[in-house]
Amino acid sequence: MNDRAAETSHAPTLHEIDAAATRIRPYVHHTPILHSRSIDQDLGAHLSFKCENLQRGGAFKFRGACNAVLSLDETAIAGGVATHSSGNHAAALCLAAGLRGARAVVVMPRGSSAVKAAAVRRYGGEIVPCDPTQEAREGTLAEVVAKRGCHPVPPYDDYRVIAGQGTAARELLAAEPEIDLLVTPLGGGGLLSGSAIVARALLPKLRVIGVEPAGADDARRSLAAGRIVTDVVPRTVADGLRARIGQLTFPIIQCCVDAVVAVSEESIIGAMRLLWERMKLVVEPSSAVALAALLAGAIDGAGQRIAIILSGGNVDLDALPWVAGR
């Protein structure tokens, strides 16, 4: 097995997640956990919100990107790093590459969020556009790596990235170990995988649920089929959750996650707006799916202590999804 294959070939352990936490601690924010009495009253539950929308780069993605980049030796980092991403991982990787003085090249689907593309450029990254399909993203990235000698850092299917993402749940459970249910958004599966590994190691009875948009529910269909389903064409306002479930993240989710549920576009937008109004938190649609599942009844959380990871807050303020005409 070559070095790059080895980097993506196994699921991280709690020990590796703890090592990641130590490695990235000087650079990441230890994000707050906030509560809302009014939302608790609406749901008849006690909710804790881990605010990764306040993370550097505006999303939890900085944790995984930072751990991956800081794990590279000097030979690997010399040619720079590259990835494919619709936004948050792209910006996170560029920010992390800057810590090492390395260049970052991002393959970004046409039609990606202008705000997220601007963040990539602000952090010094170069954007290579591609068609908005998984095959185009992966194929264009392979070309960039081959031609430019960059080291690939996948957005989720990489044990270093998963280990970094798991540090958010590690912080959460260290602060609030008495929870009954942990809910996270689900796109490619990095955040959910890392969170589930932490939960199973520390609190084996803790239920872990992933939430994805009904318009991008490939993980739910894949779990039902027992294999990764590739024919789902994502259509959702939650642009950060349009990625296909990963080859590495899928088996982790199969063995460590209790359920995956899907929510409508209307419920996502409603939950996003509620978080803005009640908690004064700027979150993007992808962040709101976990709360949407509770509000819509896709998850029965009545009487439980529930932790939600708010994954990011990179949103175009000129194109809010509840504005008339959108």
CA distance 84 to 227: 23
116 flagged as catalytic: no
Class of domain 29-59+166-310: alpha beta
> Which tens digit of pLDDT belongs to each residue from 92-125?
999 999 999 999 999 998 988 888 899 999 999 9
**Catalytic option among 86, 113, 286, 311:** 311
Given a contact cutoff of 8 angstroms between Cβ atoms, the answer to whether 255 and 281 are in contact is no
**Length of the chain in residues, anyone?**
326
Characterize the bridge pairing of strands 305-310 and 104-109: unpaired
Sheet strands (E) in 131-266? 151-152, 181-185, 207-213, 259-263
**Catalytic option among 61, 193, 222, 286:** 61
Q: Where are the domains of the chain?
A: 29-59+166-310
Tokens representing 31? 């994000």
Query: Among 204, 209, 160, which residue's Cα sits nearest to residue 183?
Result: 209
Characterize the bridge pairing of strands 104-109 and 126-130: parallel
61 flagged as catalytic: yes
> Which tens digit of pLDDT belongs to each residue from 57-102?
999 999 999 999 999 999 999 999 999 988 899 999 999 999 999 9
Given a contact cutoff of 8 angstroms between Cβ atoms, the answer to whether 310 and 281 are in contact is yes
| pTM metric for this prediction | 0.93
